[in-house]
Amino acid sequence: MGLGEASARGTTMEGDCLSCIKYLMFVFNFLIFLGGSFLLGVGVWVLVDPTGFREIVAANPLLFTGVYIILAMGGMLFLLGFLGCCGAIRENKCLLLFFFLLILIIFLAELAAAILAFVFRENLTREYFTRELKKHYQGYNNTDVFTSTWNAIMNTFECCGVNSPEDFEDSLFRVLHPNDMVPKACCRRITHPGEEQECLMGSMMFRYNKGCYSAVVDYFEMYIYVAGALTIVVLTIELFAMVFAMCLFRGIQ
């Protein structure tokens, strides 16, 4: 009788633990589902907004790329949240296994990206960007992805070159445009006729003099630490999600 009661209590405790994991996983994935829905909504709104914001985004390659990254992240989170919620509340082993495998793939991809970023960190130096700018930047050819991206960076961050406007000396840009010292993207906002020409001729008064490397690093300095902290949090959450999914999968009879 004593052994039977102990076994019954153990079964009850196991059932309570499984139920707790089940509802924790449902709440956790419902929040992920809401987050994914919000990102999808923002991305779709920006693309179809009739007030003109769509044209602003389309004209800026950085913003244009960012919108599709938001849509992709939103879709991924939406699917993950949906699978997790359905698998937990219905105690469906197939959905839970698919959820586990999807989280595992994302986790491994993030880990691989972090390793690659560390291995190729030397490609993020000033010297690398300066060398690439001199070799590939064309100035006014916006059909070239490299050129249009650099134009967007210089316009957005109000900077010129990687280190300074002198980066355009002995560059492809000067070969293509021998009369211009700097491209139009380096010029400050024009308020009077003739200022643009003064800028193109190299006048420091009418051009941006700060290099884009420093401008971008200064702008994102705080966000880099925030992104690092968020990455650690996300990886931890993904580990717990995999553990919960596998515990629930093994506990379902």
Kindly state the average pLDDT of the residues 218-240: 73
Rounded Cα gap, residues 77 and 37, in angstroms: 8
> Which element (helix H / strand E) includes 109?
helix 93-119
| Interatomic CA distance for residues 49 and 40, integer angstroms | 14
User: Model confidence over 169-196: pLDDT tens digits?
Assistant: 989 999 999 989 999 889 988 767 778 8
The candidate with the shortest Cα–Cα distance to 144, out of 157, 156, 132, is 132
What predicted TM-score, i.e. pTM, was given to this entire model? 0.54
Q: Which residue has the tokens 């693309």?
A: 47
Token pair belonging to 217: 């690093």
CA distances from 194 to 100, 132, 237 (A): 63, 31, 57
* pLDDT, the chain, mean: 78
Q: What is the pLDDT of residues 6-17, one digit of tens each?
A: 444 445 555 567
Distance CA 42, CA 38 (A): 6
Which tops the pLDDT comparison, 57 or 172?
A: 172
pLDDT at 63: 61
Q: What is the pLDDT of residues 125-134, one digit of tens each?
A: 888 889 889 9
For 97-121, what is the mean pLDDT? Answer: 78
Decide which of 235 and 188 is more confident. Answer: 188
Q: What is the pLDDT of residue 64?
A: 66
pLDDT band at 252 (very low <50, low <70, confident <90, very high): confident
At residue 57, the pLDDT reads: 56
What is the per-residue pLDDT for 223? 66
